[in-house]
């Protein structure tokens, strides 16, 4: 499975659901797939993608999708335990797992040596945890996840592909545009 | 009214209804009130940077959120402040129990406690020290108002002179 193609497919299944994307190529590909006002691209704070999505899921009624990565969530495995403890029914975590830190030189990650993120999630109390290897499987589980209570934790195994151009996005704008879709009135100034 | 209740009232006045934290014996005086009050959702994080991520997500969806941590945990979370809250302009009130102050008994807490406010200065984060109950409500409410007006993280550093500290 290739991430960009799968990302486009995910977006085609969504309406207004908020999506948080991991820093780097995952955010770039989300932008190229569709630059929605409900996309929350991250830029730094590696490891926090699904923690941000958890905070959103605890604060809104809509399904929230986190597009995380194996290297990133390995930095913050504790957040899987927190998701299990809080058990928000509206959270869907998708971990793009290429078993490497691709951007820094394709160093193998711990998932290449047996760390099973699905089992980490399952043992943290997230019963609806799955590993998928192709787009059809991902599509089918995502459709189920969008319609049934979670939390959901989906490890999507992906292969290497060329990077797309860096998305021309800016953190302050991302936050403001995203937040304005949730608040009744614009931020007061003065 | 206790210092902890004064802080809880200030949180409510600013519609801060999600609190993400890592347990601390002094902060417990606040979080035990928060935990019993249905107005709040208290989220126990495994690490302080995670608490900041959760608070950032809450704010992005229109809910005000604060974090509570010990100064040692602030050390764990600097990049979440520098790489998320500051560039995205997310106002997160960060309540920090300053260890390494009067009465500290643990040498391992001294350096990070002493470094916390200088690090906040270098990050450009406004911070206020809460070391007595005098005008406490005014100080906390004013700081929270500034935090949301500036749309920047802001720190409130609580010392043992406020909360009594930890003795063992």
State the CATH number of the domain containing residue B77.
3.40.50.970
Closest residue by Cα to residue A109 from A96, A95, A98: A98
Out of A48, A57, A82, the one facing B84 most closely (by C-beta) is A48
C-beta atoms of B65 and A79 within 8 A: no
Over 80: is that where the pLDDT of B23 sits? Answer: yes
The distance in angstroms from the start CA to the end CA of chain B is: 26
Placement of tokens 């999708």 in the chain:
A65
Task: Please give the pLDDT value at position B32.
Answer: 97
Question: Is residue B22, in this structure, part of any structural domain at all?
Answer: yes
- For residue B137, the distance in angstroms to the closest alpha carbon of chain A comes to 23
Helix (H) or strand (E) holding A161: none
pLDDT of B24 > 90? The answer is yes
Chain A residues inside the 8 Å CB shell of B49: 45, 47-48, 51, 76
Average pLDDT over residues A88-109: 97
In percent, the amount of chain B with pLDDT more than 90 equals 96
Give the mean model confidence (pLDDT) for residues B11-15: 98
Buried b (16+ CB within 10 A) or exposed e, B48-75: bbbbbbbbbbbbbbbbbbbbbbbbbbbb
- What local confidence, expressed as pLDDT, does residue B61 receive? 98
pLDDT for residue A187 is more than 90: no
**A89 within some domain:** yes
Residue A146 inside a domain? The answer is yes
Calculate mean pLDDT across residues B92-116. 95
Does the model's pTM come out above 0.95?
yes
Restricting to A residues 5-64, those with a Cβ less than 8 Å away from any Cβ of B are: 18, 20, 40, 42-49, 51-60
pLDDT, mean of residues B72-88: 97
CATH classification at residue A44:
3.40.50.970
Q: Which residue has the higher pLDDT, B1 or A23?
A: A23
Which of B66, B43, B45 lies closest to B56, judged by CA? B66
Checking if the pLDDT of B55 tops 70, the result is: yes
The answer on pLDDT for A190 being more than 60 is no
Q: How many domains does chain B have?
A: 1
Domain that holds residue B40: 3-105+115-161
Of the candidates A17, A60, A6, which has an alpha carbon nearest to the alpha carbon of residue A40?
A17
Q: Between the CA atoms of B99, B146, B80 and A142, what dihedral angle is there, to the nearest 10 degrees? A: 130
Return all residues near B65 (Cβ < 8 A) that are at least 6 apart.
A55, A59, B16, B17, B18, B19, B20, B54, B55, B56, B58, B59, B92
Average pLDDT over residues A88-101: 98
Q: How far apart (Å, rounded) are the C-alpha atoms in residues B160 and B111?
A: 16
> What confidence score (pLDDT) does residue B162 get?
95
A68 in Cβ contact with A22 (< 8 Å)? yes
pLDDT tops 70 at residue B25: yes
What per-residue string of b and e applies to B90-116 under the rule 16 or more CB within 10 Å gives b? bbbbbbbbbbbbeebeeeebeebbeeb
In a domain, A189, yes or no: no
Please report whether residue B166 resides in a domain.
no
Q: Count of domains in chain A?
A: 1
Indicate if ipTM > 0.95.
yes
Look-up of token digits 């920090």: B96
Q: Which residues of A touch B46 (CB under 8 A)?
A: 78-79, 81-82
Please tell me the distance in Å from A147's CA to the nearest CA on chain B: 21
Q: Which band of pLDDT confidence, cut at 50, 70 and 90, is reported for residue A128?
A: very high
**pLDDT at residue B150 greater than cutoff 70:** yes
pLDDT tens string A56-77: 999 999 999 999 999 999 999 9
- Burial of A26-51, coded b for 16+ CB within 10 Å and e otherwise, reads bbbbbbebeebebbbbbbebbbbbbb
Say yes or no to pLDDT of B85 above 60: yes
The continuous run of DSSP H or E covering B64 comes out as strand B64-70
Instruction: Determine the pLDDT at residue A185.
Output: 59
- Predicted confidence at residue B166, as pLDDT, reads 79
Q: Enumerate the β-bridge partners of residue B156.
A: B95, B128
The token pair that represents A127 in the structure block: 């019963």
């Amino acid at each position: 499975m290739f991430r960009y193609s799968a990302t486009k497919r995910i977006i085609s299944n969504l309406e207004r659901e908020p999506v948080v994307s991991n820093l780097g190529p995952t955010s770039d590909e989300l932008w190229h797939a569709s630059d929605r006002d409900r996309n929350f691209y991250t830029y730094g704070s590696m490891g926090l993608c699904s923690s941000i999505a958890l905070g959103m899921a605890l604060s809104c009624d809509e399904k929230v999708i986190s597009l995380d990565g194996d290297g990133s969530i390995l930095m913050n495995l504790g957040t899987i335990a927190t998701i299990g403890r809080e058990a928000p029914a509206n959270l869907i975590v998708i971990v793009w797992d290429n078993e490497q830190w691709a951007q820094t030189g394709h160093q193998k990650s711990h998932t290449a040596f047996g760390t099973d993120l699905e089992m980490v999630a399952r043992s943290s109390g997230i019963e609806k945890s799955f590993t998928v290897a192709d787009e059809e499987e991902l599509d089918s589980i995502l459709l189920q996840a969008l319609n049934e209570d979670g939390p959901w934790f989906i490890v999507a195994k992906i292969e290497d592909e060329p990077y797309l151009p860096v998305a021309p996005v800016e953190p302050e704008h991302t936050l403001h545009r995203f937040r304005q879709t949730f608040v009744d009135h614009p931020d007061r100034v003065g | 009214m206790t210092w902890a209740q004064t802080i809880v009232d200030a949180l409510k006045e600013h519609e801060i209804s999600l609190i993400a934290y890592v347990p601390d014996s002094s902060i417990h005086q606040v979080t035990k009130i928060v935990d019993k009050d249905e107005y709040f959702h208290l989220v126990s994080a495994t690490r302080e940077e995670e608490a900041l991520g959760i608070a950032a997500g809450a704010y992005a969806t229109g809910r005000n959120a604060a974090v509570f941590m010990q100064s040692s945990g602030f050390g764990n979370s600097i990049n979440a402040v520098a790489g998320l809250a500051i560039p995205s302009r997310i106002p997160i009130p960060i309540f920090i129990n300053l260890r390494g102050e009067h009465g500290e008994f643990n040498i391992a807490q001294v350096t990070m406690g002493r470094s916390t406010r200088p690090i906040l200065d270098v990050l450009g984060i406004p911070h206020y020290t809460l070391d007595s109950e005098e005008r406490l409500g005014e100080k906390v409410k004013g700081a929270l108002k500034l935090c949301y007006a500036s749309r920047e993280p802001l720190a409130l550093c609580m010392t043992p002179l406020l909360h009594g500290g930890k003795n063992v």
